[in-house]
Structure 1
Amino acid sequence: MVVAFAVLATVPGIAGSAQATTQGSNGTAVCHLPEQGPLSTEDLPTGSSVLACAAVGRVVTYDGAGVTVPEPGTTVSVDVLAIDGEAHGFSLEVSTDGKVSYALTDVGADSSTAGTDVPDHLTNPTLTAADLSEEADSVDADASDVIADGEAELAEVDTTAAAGACSDGAYKTADRKEYGTYQWYIGDGGMPGGLSRTDAKWAFWDAIDNITDSYNNCGYTDQVGAKHNYLGTTSREADVNSSNQCTSRDGVSTWDAGNLKSGTVAIACSWTFPMPGIKNDLLEADVRYNTTDYNFTNKPTSSCSNKYDIRSVGTHEAGHVFGLGHVGSGHQNLTMYTNSFTCTTKARTLGKGDVLALRSTY
Structure 2
Amino acid sequence: MGDLIDIQAPLEQEGTKAVVRNWLRAIGETVKAGDPLVELETDKVTQEVGAPADGVLAEVLMQSGDDAIPGAVLGRIGSQATEAGNAPHYSPAVRHAAEEYGLDPATVAGTGRGGRVTRADMDRAFAARQEGPASGATGTEGRGAAPRSRRIPHSGMRAAIAEHMLNSVTRAPHVTAVFEADFSAVMRHRDEHGKRLAARGIKLSYTAYVVSACVAAMRAVPEVNSRWHEDALEVYEDINIGVGISLADKGLVVPVIHRAQDLSLAEIAARLQDLATRARSNALSHAEVTGGTFTISNHGVSGSLLAAPIIINQPQSAILGVGKLDKRVVVREVDGADTIQIRPMAYVSLTIDHRALDGHQTNAWLTHFVRAIETWPTERGR
Q: Report the TM-score range of the alignment, normalised by the length of the smaller protein.
A: under 0.3
- Greater RCO, 1 or 2 (C-alpha within 8 Å, sep 6+): 1
TM-score normalised to the size of structure 1? Answer: 0.27
| TM-score in terms of structure 2 length | 0.26
